[in-house]
Amino acid sequence: MNKKLLSCVFSLVALLAVAGPASGSGGEALEHANVNVRDTAAIQRGAQVFVNYCLSCHAASYMRYNRLAEDLELNEELVMENLVFADAKIGDTMTIAMQPKDAEAWLGKAPPDLSLIARSRGTDWLYTYFLTFYQDESGRWNNITFPNASMPHVLWPLQGIQKPVYATHDGHEVIDHLVLAKPGIESPEEYEDTVRDLVTFLKYLSEPSEVKRKNTGVWVLLFLALFALVSYALKAEYWRDVH
């Protein structure tokens, strides 16, 4: 291998090593989400949580309901009954009625579109975000993973209310951990499963064709391997006469 080619290969390997998924975290330890986008039932459950608890504020405007129906193996009537609450039609995208200007006035900040959130934040960040909401002394919602976020803890009826326990580090009072001060209707384990389903849905949303792409990829690689064998046999056959 000549030097130029070698350095080219090296820089490619180095590039791949640094180009991991963007986590967007502030360096705090994140829980592992362990999502599986091949789990269609989990995506279906996550979609239900999303339309019930998130779609009032956040849009997912790159996704159409009929695409959702197709990918989640649901018929369109079922989707209209269970997932479409607004006066949207089956071919519409998942948009919201709230105007960004009003949202900013009501909430302090317009809720961002969540179509690509699993790509920009990463699934571990999202999973940890939904486990680290707490209520401070003044009764306001805050979040360890996203401090001072202007989003209320909309899943609190499920999780319950967490309160912080403080510890002193180097003279500063910091949050040591959270305790469940008031249980919700789900147990902590059930709530973790609900959040995992929701994050699985958000991961699917950020790349709806991921499963198809990976399945096709396997066949493409198999074809290339087979084709390489055939080409090699052909080359051996041609060169036999030349030698």
Distances (CA, A) of 219 to 214, 223, 227, 229: 9, 6, 12, 15
Tell whether residue 150 is a contact of ligand HEC (CB under 6 A).
yes
Name the one range near ligand HEC by CB under 6 A: 8-16, 77-85, 146-154, 161-169: 146-154
Looking at 45, 58, 153, 203, which residue binds ligand HEC (CB under 6 A)?
Answer: 58
Tell whether residue 141 is a contact of ligand HEC (CB under 6 A).
no
Q: How far is the CB of 166 from ligand HEC (least distance, A)?
A: 23
The answer to whether 25 and 127 have CB atoms below 8 angstroms apart is no
Query: Looking only at residues 17 through 56 of this chain, which bind ligand HEC when binding is defined by CB under 6 A?
Result: 53-54, 56
| CA dist., res. 174 & res. 33, Å (int) | 25
Virtual torsion, Cα 129, 135, 141, 145, nearest 10 deg: -20
Tell whether residue 57 is a contact of ligand HEC (CB under 6 A).
yes
| CA dist., res. 154 & res. 141, Å (int) | 10
Show the tokens assigned to 241: 């006469």
The answer to whether 63 and 203 have CB atoms below 8 angstroms apart is no
Tell whether residue 117 is a contact of ligand HEC (CB under 6 A).
yes
Question: How many residues touch ligand HEC (CB under 6 A)?
Answer: 21
Looking at 155, 194, 196, 204, which residue binds ligand HEC (CB under 6 A)?
Answer: 155
Tell me whether residue 54 or residue 131 sits nearer to ligand HEC (CB atom).
54
Tell whether residue 184 is a contact of ligand HEC (CB under 6 A).
no
Tell whether residue 154 is a contact of ligand HEC (CB under 6 A).
yes
Residues 193-222: x where in contact with ligand HEC by CB under 6 A, - otherwise, as a string: -----x------------------------
Cβ-proximal residue to ligand HEC, closest one:
54
Query: Looking only at residues 74 through 113 of this chain, which bind ligand HEC when binding is defined by CB under 6 A?
Result: 107, 109, 111-112
Tell whether residue 158 is a contact of ligand HEC (CB under 6 A).
no
Note the residues at the interface with ligand HEC (CB under 6 A): 53-54, 56-58, 107, 109, 111-112, 114, 117, 121, 126, 129, 149-152, 154-155, 198
